[in-house]
Each structure stands twice: as structure tokens, then as C-alpha cells.
Structure 1
């Protein structure tokens, strides 16, 4: 195998790991917002989870500003 192919395979593996890490962080944000909103919010927790799914970082900031009692 040539060094260029090995370098491309390594870059692809790193990109895959980074993508999985981002996905896990996003899912963690969604689950945390949903569970916290069930306890501390007057608005429906499901809607906050949808907001976090559509825009994870913006949804997290909005939840802290608007969603919590």
C-alpha cells in the first residue's frame, strides 16, 4: 500500500471518529435538555428536544435563556 493511500485512510478514519464524537455530543445535549425540561420548564420537554435536534448549540443557549424557570 502506498503512503498516500495510507494517509488518506488515516484521514478518513479521523474524520469518521470526529463525526461520531460530534453526533454523541449532539445526542447528549438533546437527552440532557429533554430530561432537564421535564423537571424545570413550563414548556413541553419534547419541543425543547426538537429545538436541540435542529440546532444543538443554539437550542442549548435558548434553553438556558428562555426555557428554564
Structure 2
């Protein structure tokens, strides 16, 4: 994995970002197509094992359940 500096922060992030809008509980928020915790966890695990350390999420994705899924997966 190639890493780049994030602006002038000195932080190194992966050149590839995992967008997390697809993760969330389908019955929360307005995205019935979103992937629940189990499917999301598998994708997040694969990304982390590949060296991705830049995950893009927002509290608006599936009424915050995207952040909950991402947070638990990263913690574990």
C-alpha cells in the first residue's frame, strides 16, 4: 500500500480510501440498500488487512449506524 501525507498534518494515510456510505443498518436512515454489520465487517477487515487506514464515514449515513459498524470493526 502506498501512503501519502494528509496535508500539512504529518499524518500518513493510505492512498486508497474505503468509502463507508454502503455500511449501515438497512432499517435505519433512508438507505434500504445498505450492508449490515456482518457484511460491512468483512469488507472493512479486508481493507485494513490490505493496508487501508483511511475510512470515510459520516453520521448521516444510515442515521449513524455506518459509524457504529465502522467503529466496532476497527476496534475489534
Give the TM-score normalised by structure 2.
Answer: 0.26
Question: Could you say which structure has the larger radius of gyration?
Answer: 1
Higher strand share: 2
Determine which structure has the larger helix proportion and give its number. Answer: 1
Q: Which has the higher contact order (CA 8 A, sep 6+)?
A: 2
TM-score (norm 1): 0.28
